Structure 1
Amino acid sequence: MLATKVLKRIGILLVLVLFIVNFALFNYGRQLLEPVDYNLTQEDKLVEIKPNTSINGIGEMLYQKGLIRSPFSFRTYLRVKDLARRVQAGHYKLNSGMSTPEIIDKLVRGKTANYTITVSEGARVEQVADLLARKGFDSDKFLELARTKDLEFLPERDDIKYNLEGFLFPNTYQIPYGSSERDVIRIMLNEFNKQVSPLEEQIEASDYDLHEIVTIASLIEGERKVAIEEPLIASVIYNRLERGMRLQLDATVQYSLPEHKSRLLYRDLEVDSPYNTYKISALPPGPINNPSLSAINSALNPAETEYLYYVATTGGYHEFTKTYQEHLEVQQRSNN
């Protein structure tokens, strides 16, 4: 009877010991999954996971970078959750304030690190190249691709400065880390196709092809200061083209010069360039910037006017006129 009581007590004690040990191990294991540093202001570290890297290799790398507490716990968590095969290669921004499950969630969802790049409306290819250079891309390589890249929807041309000018659609892009200059071009061209494809029927119904419409849109973009005037500027361009008049647009002179000027001089208007519409009696050979969708829409839907001239006034607006005499009078008033 006494022996039975002793054995029963020993059994209870063993169960209690096992419970305490398991509880301790559970707590220890849970602690190993917690953030290395609870400071929420930790800076992100850029981590590259290459294709076919083993789970062991990933865990060790994260441990060496001070991002996880234990490679073993990292591997164990992945296997218990059946996530080991779902980790995706790529570049990731991680920090030591993230728990191991949070890090694994990013790796499994493929939430890779991106560059945020904003191409402004009316930006030129060279300005896009400078923007990319600040993110670590090779601007010379980008410009070379911009000259020679064969557009899928347009033939490559030898008479223009950049084949890509006009087709790097203005937008804010999330460019994955590790992307090449060619990848960036592909992303921007895809965005152009996505935005402009709904206008395909309008373009086909017009008297101009896609390249010419984008060229006209770039002239509108280069000349206007306020978007509301885009259809009016479009009307002046078309009215002049129909009459065989030179467009005489300052924006084309700026494109022809080696660097932008805050104010053009009369001698600048004589620059020898196929883009200088003070010297040619037609459209320039290609776009002079990357126009917005609204400028492209204005090129397809100009206002119906008889305007042939406009003069800049206050607040970025223009005063539009039908005759040269009216144009001179507006100029005189503006100069007084």
Structure 2
Amino acid sequence: MRSHPPSHYLFKIESFSLLAEAKVEKFKSDTFEAGGHQWRLVLYPNGNEKSNGSGHISLYLEIVIEETGDFTLDWEVNVDFKLFVFDQIGDQYLAIKDMEVPVRRFYGMKKEWGFSQLLSQETFKNGENGYLVEDCCIFGAELLIIEPPPELGQLSMVKNPSGGKITWKIENFSSLHQNFYYSPVQSVGDINWYLLVYPKGHLQGEGTHLSLFLELAEPDKLPSNRELYVKYNLRLRNQIKSNHFEYETPIEKCFDIPAPSWGFPKFVRLKDLKDTSKGYMVNDSLIVEAELLLISTVK
């Protein structure tokens, strides 16, 4: 029960008993507008027998296609609605809502939703309840159109994406004099990546370690606030044995415009790298690798 009336429509019926005695099964109200569509109430004063409404008042909300305009074949309108009966003695409204299915889908084959057993005839006609007073009653409707989203965003997690291994052979390592070098760009999914190497180290690894990072090649092409979740391994391949060096496995990070690069300033000690017996450096060349194990995609 509530004190304020329904927001969209009230339907008053006088001489209800004469209406119930008529041979017409149902009566429809005038149309009213709500949410950009036209609607009406459909009342079965003696109950909708086809929907187990015998002995009750049946009341439905119907979308009026003729008044709504042209609909495509696959049109639908999703509605959260309540139907009302006015208690004229208590000056309050009985609001009825389907709590199990609060949003109903109106479409070509189903233009009407409501309640076959809104109130029992005994409850409705008992004057002490206030629903039928001096052969007069009032019904109402209130509805909220649930608009479809303008866009559907889809997040997928892709395991072992195609082309997800970025391998870079760095030759003539001892002659590299720049602070850092980028590998050739490689596309994984629809995102371009490269490896970033600091031959003489970076930040806390400067002078003592090889620094290695996985980095977005074109972070500015990402939509603002987009994050890419990536699970990956950074690896220094052993060219003699199969025991490749991996600092930490696996790495899980979110890449975005503010943070397009993740890796390790102290990836491997230069001392170990240059020790040819360990198999990482062969003929002054080394091989670094990033293997993307899992990556998020958004459409």
Q: Provide the TM-score with structure 2 as the length reference.
A: 0.28
Q: Between Structure 1 and Structure 2, which shows a larger proportion of strand residues?
A: 2
Q: Provide the TM-score with structure 1 as the length reference.
A: 0.26
Q: Between Structure 1 and Structure 2, which shows a larger proportion of helix residues?
A: 1
Q: Relative contact order: is structure 1 or structure 2 higher (C-alpha 8 Å, sep ≥ 6)?
A: 2
